[in-house]
Chains A and B, each alone.
Chain A
Amino acid sequence: MAATKIADISWFHDFPPFFTLQPNLDTRRKQLDAWCSLLLDYCRLKKVCTFDVNDASKFPPFFNAKINRQLDNHFIQILLEELRSRGNIEWEDKNKRRCLIFWNSLEEWAKNVYQWITSRGMNRTVCTFYELLHGDDTRSADFHNIDPKLFRRILHELEKRGQATVFSENGADGVKFL
């Protein structure tokens, strides 16, 4: 895939005021909407599933060298909290340092995985996590190469729906789709 410029995902990224938290609340609402869309689209494209606040300054969407602008920490905190309130991120720790990113909701993911498995006729077969995540056969799947932590959460969701069973054998994690 050709390198995608972030401005191709959202033209706002080249608009300097995008990087200043707007004091006008109506404008701010629209600004935050635009940022959330941009971040989730970026993460979906690059399959970014986790985020560490310490790496914020290196996270490409948070700065634009071409126009010499970057988000300050205050704005980043506000964005993360906005995403959390929309269910798009979950904090892994109390200190809010690391989080899991849901560009799809858990329900959407569960449906997505189950549909893919069913379309390949793989129900009632046993697969290891590894071959599902990284195997050649799953290259076209949305879940290919996603973070194992996220994958585990999706499979647990399927378990709750009675659509899969997760187990561990010889140290390897596996799943049987029903």
Chain B
Amino acid sequence: MKIISRSIEIDPEECIAQARLICTLSKSQTKRPGPFASSTHDEIQFEFRDGGCNEFFRLIQEELAKKRWSVQPAKPTTTMNAAMSDRSHRTGISGIENHLQHQLNVQHQSISGAFQDLNNLMQQAKDMVNISKTIANKIQEQRSDLTSDETIRFRSYLLSLGIDNPVTKESAGSQYHDTNGIMTLSDAFCRINRARGYELISPEDLLNAAVHMEQLNLPVRLRVLSSGIKSFELTNHNEEKDLKEITNQVESAKSMSADQLANLIGIPVIVARERLIAAETNGLLCRDDSIEGLRFYPNLF
């Protein structure tokens, strides 16, 4: 991966300086195949709205130089020596017991070593996640010998790793129902990857999946809004009813801006603006465009 350009751009709509970092991905050099050998979407663009671009740029250059992904994760080797000398006893039940004990020691060392130093943790993150998942399952199956206090403490560690209640897998779904039935693709992308925790999906993956949703009769479908923004909406979404409701909201408030509507019913501003414009196209609302901003009124014409 190479950084090809770093720029500061002024966003004409919002009139604030936005720092941008653009990175290109070069073709994979290793023999390990990923889902794609190469892709036309080979650029990653970072946009910094609140600063931090320079700091991030410095850190990313450091990491590219270190190439930590080529380094084999350090495996504890010290305990192996002790086991080697007892080769003669590694068969039979005692051998199995020794082997299990040895594995537990390795895990214990791995966990304590990782928590001591954050950098090491990053390196061993993949191992950590797998081990944590295993232990999480053990808690559930009540096969471990942890006390209930320790169980609670351990579950809080899991939470901070991004693994919610290990029993429920519906956490992503329940969050979704709070969004009033519509969510932009970028929001969905963030939430899905947060819930997955590992084996993240790429934006391309999400888009490919989205395109096929309606055909597969899923409860969610892709919808392209008039501004070109793609979003997910529930398939039982009724356009006419939705627009009438929005018109009623505007009527009770006498007039409304996209910001106000977004705050009121809990949808993104982009989507609120699109809904208001849709109501205007249907003749339910009319617009007032002045230096005070763009507002919508009930259509009294």
Q: Which residues of A contact B (CB under 8 A)?
A: 12, 15-17, 19-20, 22-24, 26-27, 30-31, 34, 68-69
Q: Are A20 and B289 in contact (CB under 8 A)?
A: yes
User: Chain B 251-268 against A: per-residue CB contact (8 Å), 1 yes, 0 no?
Assistant: 000010000000000000
Chain B interface bracket (under 10, 10 to 19, 20 to 34, 35 or more): 10 to 19
Closest to B291 in A: A68
Q: B47 near A: Cβ within 8 Å?
A: no
Closest to B297 in A: A17
- Closest approach, in angstroms, between the C-beta of B191 and any C-beta of chain A? 34
Report the bound CA distance from A27 to B282 in whole Å: 10
Report the bound CA distance from A22 to B285 in whole Å: 10
User: Which among B290, B300, B301 has the greatest number of chain A C-beta atoms within 10 A?
Assistant: B301
- A-B pairs, top 6 by smallest CB distance, nearest first, are A30-B301, A16-B288, A17-B288, A17-B286, A20-B289, A17-B297
Given known pairs A27-B299, A27-B301, the reply for A22 and B292 (CB within 8 Å) is: no
Report the bound CA distance from A24 to B283 in whole Å: 7
Q: Which residues of B contact A (CB under 8 A)?
A: 255, 280-281, 283, 286-290, 292, 295, 297, 299-301
Q: Note all chain B residues with C-beta closer than 8 A to A15.
A: 297, 300
- Closest approach, in angstroms, between the C-beta of B298 and any C-beta of chain A? 9
Q: Are A69 and B290 in contact (CB under 8 A)?
A: yes
Report the bound CA distance from A20 to B281 in whole Å: 15
- Closest approach, in angstroms, between the C-beta of B232 and any C-beta of chain A? 28
Q: Note all chain B residues with C-beta closer than 8 A to A20.
A: 286-290
Given known pairs A22-B301, A27-B299, A34-B301, the reply for A16 and B280 (CB within 8 Å) is: no
Closest to A31 in B: B301
Given known pairs A23-B280, A24-B283, the reply for A16 and B297 (CB within 8 Å) is: yes
Q: Are B287 and A68 in contact (CB under 8 A)?
A: no
